Amino acid sequence: MHRPARTPLVLLAAILVNACAPESSLPTAAPDEMDPAAALSTASPTANPTATWAFPLDDAALSVRSDRKFPDASGTYSLYANGVCSVSSTIFYGGSGDNTIQFSYPKAKTCGRTWTVVYPDGFSETLAYQGGVQVLENTGYAIPIGATVLRHMRFGTGRNGNPVASRCGQGLVFGPGGANPALGSDSVSVHRVDASTWEVSSQPAPNDRAYCIDNGQLYSMRISFRIVASGPLP
């Protein structure tokens, strides 16, 4: 597979999604050593669609909850859309195939977004986050519509203007792949709904564990959200 020229990795959002091969493959062409550094390649902007992350408003059972702002027309999801209220999200179709997201903490006269992360011991925090899901699609690989695969996911707080430190600011990691050891953690399930939509969820317990880089602990984390590309992909 031809690799685009790489530029320095200057976005922490990309750092939070370290390189690894897919953790479950289908009988289709598998990604070839995908690297998030390629996300900052020379691929033209039109080659890399933006994305919206949609979080269910019915979220009492979930460990990652939206701020309940920007609901969709049906009142089902809270939308984190690229370019709206500090949100930035790109699918690096012309490079790694990863999808990253980042947003800033709300400040006076400055629109920002948050997630509330609820841990199984009852501790919770409401902060701005960044991270991503690896290998949704690129020019050499696609999850077939209707198929479900396992993927590496990671998110942390980074430098997003948060007023306090996070319990797992360096990252909660789903899946043992990537540059950071995450032994005992479980990958997320990614179901391809249609040409522009992927449903991301934790696996059923007890296979729903995320690894906290900061303290080395494993936490059962129930997640569910949708990634919707700005346009259909092949």
Distance between CA 156 and CA 102 in Å, rounded? 10
The DSSP 8-state label assigned to residue 70 in this structure reads S
Sheet holding 115-118: strands in order across?
64-65, 115-118, 124-127
What is the greatest pairwise CA distance in the chain? 51
C-alpha distances out from residue 46 to 90, 93, 212, 233, Å: 11, 9, 35, 12
Helices (H), the chain: 12-15
CA distance 64 to 61: 9
| DSSP conformation class of 139 | T
174 and 188 Cβ atoms separated by less than 8 Å:
yes
* Res 42 pLDDT > 80: no
| Nearest in space to 153 (alpha carbons), one of 99, 90, 229, 95 | 99
For the chain, the structural domain boundaries read 44-229
Q: How far is CA 145 from the centre of its chain?
A: 19
User: How far apart (Å, rounded) are the C-alpha atoms in residues 41 and 6?
Assistant: 5
Q: Select from 7, 13, 6 the least CA-distant residue to 131.
A: 13
Q: Which two tokens stand for residue 125?
A: 């925090």
Q: pLDDT, tens digit, for every residue of 46-100?
A: 479 999 999 999 999 999 999 999 999 999 999 999 999 999 999 999 999 999 9
Give the dihedral sign, CA 38/152/224/111. negative
pLDDT computed for residue 41 by the predictor: 32
- pTM assigned to the model: 0.82
Mean pLDDT of all residues belonging to the chain: 84
pLDDT at 33 over 70: no
The CA angle 30-36-42, to the nearest 5 degrees, is 100
For residue 132 the two structure tokens come to 């991503």
177-216 pLDDT per residue, tens: 766 679 999 999 999 999 999 999 999 999 999 999 999 9
- 150, 114, 113: which is closest to 133 by C-alpha? 150
